[in-house]
Copies of this chain bind each other. A is one copy, B any other.
Amino acid sequence: MIINKPYLLFLGDAPDQLAAKTADGIAYWRRNDCLGQLRLKNCNADLGLPELNIAEAIKLGARTLIIGVANRGGCISDSWLPHLKEALNSGMDIASGLHKRLSDIEELASLAKSRGRSLFDVRHPTEDFPVGNGRRRAGKRLLTVGTDCSVGKMYAALAIEQEMKRRGLAADFRATGQTGILIAGSGVSIDAVVSDFISGAVEAISPNQAPNHWDIIEGQGSLYHPSYAGVSLGLLHGAQADALVMCHEPTRKHMRGVPEYPLPSIEECIAANETAAKLTNTAARCIGISINTFALQETEALKLLQETENRIGLPCVDAVRTGVTRIVDNLVS
């Protein structure tokens, strides 16, 4: 699955900026892939991109309309349909990370078919993956892992890819969640893969590479999350990571969605991930920590990063606030 770029980002009638966070992520990490934004009346999100209608976007070379807004329930609004049909009629593909499939909407499915266009429902894998084989692959791999879900694993991975590319190193972000897939234009929504094939799917998206090439793989969940640890472990084994980066959110009161479960310490979470990772790569080690300090004031944030670094002895950054140069320094040293 390869989603063609450049994109037109569809924000629909997003009630606020948060509802357009998928589009926000794409515009933040792949500004050059985004020709503009298409907003309906009542849209309260704004990415600061040029306002384009579909005809204008086509004229500029747009290949794919990205649904960059999430509705309650992950549905596709009726009010979006005329625009989606116009996009298909004009020669664009459509990609969506919503739960509800574009391909389940009969009028979109039949129109796409008759026009020879593709509908990408990136939350729902369509490929068949083999069972993981555990065989070592050439090239190097970094995986972001976490003390919990939604602690910044995708952002950390994208920041590391960006910094490595800035230094002229060979690195590619490998997406395992829907926003990441739309950013990268490919990948697999790993938590939607049938469980027999978790590690096989990760092996497939981070295949053999040149010896100095780094795949920077987006992690999911946490080994300490009672709902999702199986996904995290299969991802860890399939990645055969040489390097792990531990991600953490310091204001979290309990594991996301399960109030009975406290967060692990960063130290024990690193130890558990290193131990499990060594099954498929005995050289696996954690090479840095990324803490999402968004909820903290600057002074407090920097103090926390420094204290954590002193305590654990690994570079400790905030991928957004401080950047990841020190993690990449440690990676290539």
Contacts A134-B258, A233-B233; A226 near B193 (Cβ below 8 A): no
- State which of B131, B132, B195, B280 has its C-beta within 8 Å of the C-beta of A195: B195
Let me know if A58 is at the binding interface, CB within 8 A: no
Q: Determine if A260 is an interface residue (Cβ-Cβ < 8 Å).
A: yes
Minimum CB–CB distance from A193 to chain B (whole Å) comes to 6
Q: In this assembly, does A301 line the interface, its C-beta being within 8 Å of a C-beta of chain B? A: no
A139 at the interface (CB under 8 A from B): no
A328 CB, min distance to chain B CBs, angstroms? 28
A261 at the interface (CB under 8 A from B): yes
Q: Given A190-B195, A194-B195, A260-B135, does the pair A233, B229 have CB atoms closer than 8 Å?
A: yes
B230–A199 CB distance below 8 A: yes
- B227 close to A230 (CB less than 8 A): no
Q: How far is the CB of A96 from chain B (nearest CB, A)?
A: 18
Contact pick for A200, options B194, B224, B227, CB 8 Å: B227
Q: Which residue of B lies closest to A224 (CB)?
A: B279
Question: Contact string, A215-239, partner B, CB cutoff 8 A, digits 1/0?
Answer: 0000000011011111111110100
Residue in B closest to A261 when the chains form the complex, CB atoms: B134
Q: Which residues of B contact A226 (CB under 8 A)?
A: 132-134, 199, 237, 279-280
A1 located at the interface, meaning its Cβ lies under 8 Å from any Cβ of chain B in the complex: no
- How far in angstroms is the closest Cβ of chain B from A278? 11
Complex: how many Å from CA A237 to CA B255?
Answer: 15
B194-A192 in contact (CB<8A): yes
Contacting residues of chain A (120-147) with chain B, CB-CB under 8 angstroms: 131-136
A136-180 vs B, CB cutoff 8 Å, 1 = contact: the mask equals 100000000000000000000000000000000000000000000
The 5 closest A-B pairs by CB, nearest first: A230-B234, A134-B226, A191-B196, A132-B227, A195-B195
